[in-house]
Chains A and B, each alone.
Chain A
Amino acid sequence: MSPLLRSLRRGDPLIWFTGSALGVCLLMIAGLVGVILVNGLGFFWPRPLLEVTLRDGGAFLGEVENREQIPNPGHPDHLKKSRIQLRVGNRDLLGFDFKWIDEDEIARRQALPEAWFIERREYGPLIGTPVLLKEGEAVRARGPEAIGPLLPALLGKAERDRAAIARIEKGEIGEINYRIEQFRLLDRKLDLEARKDPSRDQGRERERIRQAVEEQKALYAKKQEELGRIVERAAPTTLTVQIAGGREKELRTLDIYRAYAANRLGWPGRLRIYAHRLWEFLRDDPRESNTEGGIFPAIFGTVMMVIIMSIIVVPLGVLAALYLREYAKQGALVRTVRIAVNNLAGVPSIVFGVFGLGFFVYFVGGTIDQLFFSAALPTPTYGTGGILWASLTLALLTVPVVIVASEEALAAVPRSMREASVAMGATKLQTILRVVLPAAAPGILTGLILAMARGAGEVAPLMLTGVVKLAPELPLDGFFPFLHLDRKFMHLGFHIYDVGFQSPNVEAAKPMVYTTTILLLLIVVLLNLAAIVVRNRLREKYKTSAF
């Protein structure tokens, strides 16, 4: 027998065939994850700054972002010459962040030791050389060598000042605004009551509300004053930076988030900045229409939405599966229902979004507003998108997955176990609660894992039911009732779409898209891991007899 024939007999080609199929799948996944990781994780790395002087005398300073062959189809120099992309920053001065420069036009390249990369509140980074540090009108230092050592202390102070301002603005003034709003609603309520029952005297209540509002307003004025003092104290310190080409920009140190001399950084310095940026990304609110700063609200919104969704979808799905598997008479009808449920999982998610908008937001939310929040109308409370409606819509979207998985888990509970329970004199309900459900719990959790993975990555339905580009408040905070299910929220998936495709500054936003994607993947993985750990514990506890 020839070796080829022998190999055929052993089934080698099939092994190769199936193995290659798996290989292709793995390669594609690894490629996707790799592209995301490389692009996303590189974003925070502080790169050296290059000064490029052009033949025509122009000069640009920035990080080298890219290098490519110049396409010029039909000409002999097609893909022969190359150009580099510089991230030059200074958008307020230049009008652009990125610049393509043909290498032919470059007269000189130079790594300036005094080139600084300055992250600030607005307009993206400022890249240039610090020339002057002033406090009010008095000059504190001149030239980069003198300014450099002074900056860390100044920036530390700026950070503390910003934190103090944020505390007053978001915390204390936020609380005052919240109270004033509550009193306004009380007032509105009295208006409504007065219309119904004009004879009743509301003088005392009105007076109390008026006084309380006055009190809050006085408090508000005091806080404003305090805020003004902090800003005043911090503002006079300014830094003047000269950019490539000689123009200068004066900047309040209060607005500077970070500054470093990129070409003088050693490895430890770079690593420190990298870690710091990463941490900031996770912890901070977004700035500059989401292209800078952090994405904490989006992380928070995503996790919270998935949790609310899980809380809704598990009982719903499990109860439905229990009925289908344990109580319904197995026949044509149940089979039809089962097929319908399976197919429901294939309905485009935007359709669920439209349904969520029409049913949950307008109908249910509108009704709730009419019944319980009429004082606030016409401003909707629940009659507009919010985290509750988004979670409910996602629960609806993922409930087929949970039903199918739960049904399978229930079916897998051995008949002998149910019989044992029934033979002991247990009712059907007791059997289900005490024996069947605990034994099916790991399988049900598998369904939840699948549902979470699907739900966390869904974007389209959320756009209609409560996700926004920028949510000023988290759905969970220190104000009663703490959990604000009516609030709009941010979501990583939507963030990716928004930053990647709705941003005015796409080039600057691109790395943000990758990093956000990494984070979304990471969160899905973490949520899944948590569920898997729980499932394995349960499996260990309720493992069925091997014999």
Chain B
Amino acid sequence: MSQEAKAADSGLRIRTEVKAQEAASTEVREADIVIEDLNLSYGDNHVLHDISMDVEDRRVTAFIGPSGCGKSTLLRCLNRMNDLIDNVRTTGTIRVKGLDVNAPATDVIEVRRRIGMVFQKSNPFPKSIYENVVYGLRIAGIHDKATLDEACERSLRRAALWGEVKDRLGESGLGLSGGQMQRLCIARAIAVEPEIILMDEPCSALDPIATLKIEELIYSLKDRYTIVIVTHNLQQAARVSDRTAFFWLGRLVEYASTPDMFTKPKDKLTEDYITGRFG
């Protein structure tokens, strides 16, 4: 089968999967993250152009688009991870639950405590499983053993990892399998009770079974947390998200509920992308 035909086929399958979700995702929720006129450049390289969008509360929002389209950059704007990079200039506002993320007076530490993040490459610390999970609490100055134990178990349960690691919490987090490590990172992110979880291609380095587990996890987490997920995997976007945003060359091309996006895209570019004609 040619590359193109394969992609077209996958587009077809996505549409059928999406149908099932359609009913659940139509209700409009209040906005949790409001992005207005966001522009970002690395030096002379203008990466994000006039992005304006709302992310709804306790929904899964997927960012899709070809490599280099700025979707990860946008995600990293939400918890100001771009601060770590030199020469970044951002204009426009991002409000998370009313808090102006980019305002000079805003405590960036506070922003990051409220917004958890899961990375493409699972990155547990070279510490024990237990210490990995309670890291956020420890740096927040919590030393009470009972609180930490309780948070550790709760987070691992929510990340569907408790059963697999409960007998070896003292072992290194790096001794786990790839999928377990990624779930450990999710547990670590939710241990501090954030309101929003950002996921930057969380499954791109995992095998299909581990991917499935993470997707189930995302599904179960969305009752509690607002989740924004960047993914290259269109099927994944269709499976887990309620709303999807399509980016192309640093611009937001289309942003709609996932069923609409995958079944009746308004923009030609979007349609070409999700049916695999380019990208």
Which residues of the other chain, A, contact B124 by a CB distance below 8 angstroms? 420, 545
A residues 403-458 touching B (CB-CB < 8 Å): 414, 416-427, 430, 434-435, 438-439
Within 8 Å by CB of B126, from A419, A439, A547, lies: A439
Q: Is B12 an interface residue, CB under 8 A from the partner?
A: no
- How many angstroms from the CA of A543 to the CA of B110 in the assembled complex? 31
CB pair B119–A416 under 8 Å, yes or no, is yes
Residue of A nearest to B135 (CB): A424
Of the four ranges (under 10, 10 to 19, 20 to 34, 35 or more), the interface on chain A belongs to: 20 to 34
Residues of B within 8 A of A283 (CB): none
A-side contacts of B189, CB under 8 Å: 423-424
Chain A 506-544 residues near chain B, CB threshold 8 A: 541-544
Q: Kindly report which residue of chain B lies nearest to residue A413, judged by CB atoms.
A: B126
Residues in B with CB closer than 8 Å to A330 are: 86
B93 to chain A, nearest CB (A): 21
Residues of B within 8 A of A439 (CB): 126
Chain B residue nearest in CB terms to A539: B126
Identify A426's interface contact among B86, B123, B139, B174, CB under 8 A: B139
Contact A423 B126 (CB under 8 A): no
Question: Is B66 an interface residue, CB under 8 A from the partner?
Answer: no
Interface flag for B117 (CB, 8 Å): yes
A420–B136 touching, CB < 8 Å: no
B139→A547 contact, CB < 8 A: no
Q: Which residues of B contact A329 (CB under 8 A)?
A: 86
A434 touches B123 (CB 8 A): no
Q: How far is the CA of A546 from the CA of B181 in the complex (A)?
A: 12
Q: How far is the CA of A420 from the CA of B182 in the complex (A)?
A: 12
Instruction: Name B137's closest neighbour in chain A (CB-CB).
Output: A424
Alpha-carbon distance between A439 and B119 when the two chains are bound, in angstroms: 19
Complex-state Cα separation, A546 to B175, whole angstroms = 10
Residues of chain B from 114 to 131 with CB closer than 8 A to chain A in the complex = 116-117, 119, 121-127
The answer to whether A424 and B136 touch across the interface, beta carbons within 8 angstroms, is yes
Chain A residues closer than 8 Å to B117, beta-carbon distance? 420, 423
Q: What's the nearest-Cβ distance from chain B to residue A343, in Å?
A: 27
Chain B 144-188 per-residue mask, 1 if CB under 8 angstroms from chain A, else 0: 000000000000000000000000000010100010010001001
B109 to chain A: which residues have CB within 8 Å? 425-427
Q: In the complex, A496 Cα to B278 Cα: how many Å? A: 76
* With A423-B81, A438-B126 as contacts: A545 and B181 at CB distance below 8 Å: yes
Contact A547 B119 (CB under 8 A): no
A424 touching B112 in the complex, CB below 8 Å, given contacts A434-B135, A545-B174: yes
Interface residues on B, range: 20 to 34
B142 at interface (Cβ–Cβ under 8 A)? no
Q: Which residues of A contact B181 (CB under 8 A)?
A: 545, 547
Question: With contacts A419-B119, A424-B189 known, is A547 near B178, CB below 8 A?
Answer: yes
Quick check: A543 and B174 within 8 Å, CB to CB?
yes
| Contact between B178 and A414, CB atoms less than 8 A apart | no
Contact partner, A430, options B139, B185, B205, Cβ 8 Å: B139
Q: How far is the CA of A464 from the CA of B140 in the complex (A)?
A: 51
A422, B125: Cβ atoms closer than 8 Å: no
Task: Give chain B residues whose Cβ lies under 8 Å from the Cβ of A544.
Answer: 126, 174
User: Is B105's CB within 8 Å of the partner chain A?
Assistant: no
* Inter-chain contacts of A416 with B (CB < 8 A): 119, 121, 123
Report the minimal beta-carbon distance from A451 to chain B, rounded to whole angstroms. Answer: 25
B139–A420 touching, CB < 8 Å: no
Q: Assess whether A422 is in contact with B112, with CB atoms less than 8 Å apart.
A: yes
Given contacts A545-B181, A547-B178, whether A425 and B136 have CB atoms under 8 Å apart is yes
Give A329 to B205 CA distance when docked, in angstroms: 33
- Cα–Cα distance between A421 and B174 once the two chains are bound (Å): 16
Report whether B81 and A541 are in contact in the complex, using a CB–CB cutoff of 8 Å: no
Q: Which of A418, A422, A423 has the most CB of B within 10 A?
A: A423
**Which residues of chain B (181-216) have a CB below 8 Å from chain A?**
181, 185, 188-189, 192, 205
Contact A425 B140, beta carbon cutoff 8 Å? yes
CA distance A546 to B86 in the complex (A): 28
**Across-interface contacts of A438 in B (CB, < 8 A):** 126-127
Specify which of A425, A427, A541 lies most central, judged by the most chain B CB atoms within 10 Å of its CB: A425
Q: Among A422, A541, A546, which residue has its beta carbon within 8 angstroms of that of B84? A: A422
CB contact list, A280-338 vs B, under 8 A:
329-330
Q: How far is the CA of A375 from the CA of B135 in the complex (A)?
A: 55
Does B79 touch A at the CB level, under 8 Å? Answer: yes
List residues of B (62-89) whose CB comes within 8 Å of A's CBs: 79, 81, 84, 86
Q: Which residue of B lies closest to A439 (CB)?
A: B126
Chain A residues with CB under 8 Å of B125's CB are: 417, 420-421, 434-435
Which residues of chain A come closer than 8 Å to B138, judged between CB atoms? 434
CB <8 Å contact, B112 and A423: yes
Chain B residue with Cβ nearest A415: B84
> Given the complex of chains A and B, what is the CA–CA distance between A541 and B126 in angstroms?
7
Chain B contacts for A426, CB-based, 8 A: 109, 135-136, 139
Does B113 sit at the interface, judged by CB under 8 A? Answer: yes
Do B178 and A419 touch (CB < 8 A)?
no
Specify which chain B residues have a CB less than 8 angstroms from the CB of A546 in the assembled complex. 174
A431, closest chain B residue (CB):
B139
Is A422 within 8 A of B81, CB to CB? Answer: yes
Closest to A420 in B: B123
Quick one: CB contact mask for B51-65 with A, threshold 8 Å, 1 for yes? Answer: 000000000000000
Name the contact of B113 in the complex, choosing from A417, A421, A425, A545 (C-beta under 8 A): A425
CA distance A418 to B135 in the complex (A): 13
Residue contact A417 to B112, C-beta cutoff 8 Å? no
Interface centre among B84, B124, B126, B136 (most CB of A within 10 A): B126
The closest CB in chain B to the CB of A540 belongs to B172
Expressed in whole angstroms, the Cα–Cα distance for A420 and B139 within the complex equals 13
Taking a contact as CB atoms under 8 Å apart, the answer to whether A419 and B123 are in contact is yes
CB distance from A526 to the nearest CB of B (A): 29
Query: Which A residues from 367 to 425 make CB contacts under 8 A with B?
Result: 414, 416-425
Question: How far is B119's CA from A420's CA once the two chains are assembled, in angstroms?
Answer: 8
* B135 cross-chain contacts in A, Cβ below 8 A: 421, 424, 426, 434
CB of B171 to closest CB in A, whole Å: 11
Interface residue from B84, B110, B116 paired with A419 (Cβ < 8 Å): B84
Known contacts A419-B81, A420-B125, A435-B125; decide if A425 and B119 are in contact (CB<8 Å). no
List the interface of chain B (C-beta within 8 A of A).
79, 81, 84, 86, 109-110, 112-113, 116-117, 119, 121-127, 135-136, 138-140, 172, 174, 178, 181, 185, 188-189, 192, 205
Q: 30 pairs across A/B with beta carbons < 8 Å?
A: A329-B86, A416-B123, A417-B123, A418-B84, A419-B81, A419-B84, A419-B119, A420-B123, A423-B79, A423-B81, A423-B112, A423-B116, A423-B189, A424-B116, A424-B188, A424-B192, A425-B109, A425-B112, A426-B135, A427-B109, A434-B125, A434-B138, A434-B139, A541-B172, A543-B174, A544-B126, A544-B174, A545-B122, A545-B181, A547-B122
Known A417-B125, A426-B139; further 11 A-B contacts with Cβ < 8 A: A417-B126, A420-B117, A420-B119, A423-B79, A423-B119, A423-B189, A424-B139, A426-B109, A426-B136, A427-B139, A438-B127
5 tightest A-B contacts by CB?
Answer: A425-B113, A542-B126, A423-B117, A416-B123, A425-B112
